[in-house]
Amino acid sequence: MKVESTKGVSRIPNILTLVRVACIPPVLIFLYFSGPISSLLAGIFLGLAFVTDILDGFFARRYESVTTFGKFLDPLADKILVTVTMIMLIPLGRIPVWMVIVIVARELAITGLRGAAVKEGIVIAARSLGKYKTILQSIALVGLCIHYTYFGINFHKLGMVILWPALILTLWSGWDYFQQFSRRVFSASGPDERLP
């Protein structure tokens, strides 16, 4: 019974990742209609997707249930969710194009560096900068999706106010990752070995 229970728990992160993937179509559909109610629903589904990201990370760490499937799909789902949401917000006039270009370019660059790091056998631990960036970016995008004023809160303005520090952390964490990668590569190569 204990083994079966553990196996069941180990599947939770992957299930949550699949739920996050399933949230992507509703977000896009509701943003397409872009009215007050559909925008609110888009924000709710996007918020739900981000909550599943937090939960699957918690369960994966708590029960050490990291799988190959999860390692592949989890970051991919995050990038697709954030990228397509930002792209959908551009024609609605809710986010500047240049901000989307900067954020997406950073994600592509870091993905390339991660691939190179894996190839070189280099492990680069996640830093707090990246985590703070993700939190601020998530809150900002939910606000930009909701867009309209509810409970006296202008969610578009709130989203833009939070997006600026998220953008700064996006660039800062990207530079930090690049520096870590460079240091590891040079330290791994070491001085040239010469034959006596």
Structural domain contains residue 192: no
Q: Is 31 helix (H, G, I), strand (E, B) or coil?
A: helix
Structural domain contains residue 194: no
Structural domain contains residue 16: yes
Structural domain contains residue 193: no
pLDDT score for 27: 97
CA distances 28 to 23, 32, 136, 191, Å, are 9, 6, 21, 52
pLDDT score for 9: 64
pLDDT score for 10: 65
Kindly give, in sequence order, each residue whose CB lies less than 8 Å from that of residue 188, ignoring residues fewer than 6 positions away: 120, 121, 122
CA 54, 58, 61, 66 torsion-angle sign: negative
pLDDT score for 74: 80
∠ CA 156-158-159, nearest 5°, is: 65
pTM for this entry: 0.85
pLDDT along the chain (196 residues), means of 10: 53 87 96 95 97 84 71 82 96 97 92 80 75 93 97 96 97 90 72 40
Domain of 29, in residue numbers: 2-187
Q: How far apart (Å, rounded) are the C-alpha atoms in residues 23 and 2?
A: 32
Structural domain contains residue 106: yes
Q: Assign residue 21 the CATH number of its domain.
A: 1.20.120.1760
Count of structural domains, the chain: 1
pLDDT score for 195: 35
pLDDT score for 192: 45
Structural domain contains residue 64: yes
Helix, strand, coil share of the chain (percent; to 5): 80, 0, 15
What separation, in Å, do the N-terminal and C-terminal C-alpha atoms of the chain show? 62
